[in-house]
């Protein structure tokens, strides 16, 4: 099993992985066109692991030049507990650091119990109590 960068052709298989994973919320941005725009804007950063040519784990990775942002960290159920999420995180942070982006964030829904439990035991990651996130959604121009 190897980690490699996600390419547009991976969309259908990744979409299926995300859809069958409880706790992962699909958004308009997960459709093919915005997925491709995201990959083009953040080349070689989003990652997957595949087994026999089928994606079994994913991590979407982007940055704004200062901070990295991680989304859709997913490991397919039969493959959990083997260090795949850790391996994806390590590789993503190394790729961001190579670009000079040395601090990253992940936003986790507080009612996503499994995701919260995972992030709370990641020793290098600190849960922020000092920041509130405000969000707005605009109509496309």
Ligand X SMILES: CC(C)(COP(=O)(O)OP(=O)(O)OC[C@H]1O[C@@H](n2cnc3c(N)ncnc32)[C@H](O)[C@@H]1OP(=O)(O)O)[C@@H](O)C(=O)NCCC(=O)NCCS
Q: Which residues bind ligand X (CB under 6 A)?
A: 21, 23-24, 73-75, 80-86, 106, 108, 112, 114-115, 117-118, 121
**Going by DSSP bridges, is the β-strand pair 104-106/68-75 parallel, antiparallel, or unpaired?**
parallel
> Among residues 21 and 44, whose Cβ is nearest to ligand X?
21
Q: Which CB sits closer to ligand X, 114 or 130?
A: 114
Shortest distance, position 139 Cβ to ligand X, whole Å: 27
Q: Confirm if 21 and 78 have CB atoms less than 8 A apart.
A: no
- Report in angstroms how near the CB of residue 115 gets to ligand X at its nearest: 3
Residue 6 CB, nearest distance to ligand X (Å)? 16
How big is the CA angle at 117 (ends 55 and 85), to the nearest 5 degrees? 25
Residue 73 CB partners (closer than 8 Å, separation 6+): 58, 59, 85, 88, 89, 106
- Considering the complex, state which of residue 78 and residue 140 has its C-beta at the smaller distance from ligand X: 78
């Amino acid at each position: 099993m190897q980690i490699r960068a996600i390419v547009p052709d991976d969309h259908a298989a990744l979409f299926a992985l995300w859809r069958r994973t409880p706790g992962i919320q699909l958004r308009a941005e997960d459709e093919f066109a915005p997925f491709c725009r995201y990959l083009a804007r953040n080349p070689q950063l989003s990652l997957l692991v595949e087994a026999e040519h089928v994606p079994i784990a994913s991590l979407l990775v982007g940055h704004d030049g200062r901070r990295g942002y991680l989304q859709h960290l997913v490991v397919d159920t039969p493959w959990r507990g083997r260090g795949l999420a850790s391996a994806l995180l390590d590789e993503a942070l190394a790729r961001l650091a190579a670009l000079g982006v040395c601090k990253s964030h992940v936003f986790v829904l507080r009612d996503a119990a499994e995701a919260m439990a995972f992030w709370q035991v990641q020793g290098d990651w600190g849960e922020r109590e000092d920041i509130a996130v405000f969000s707005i959604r605009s109509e496309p121009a």
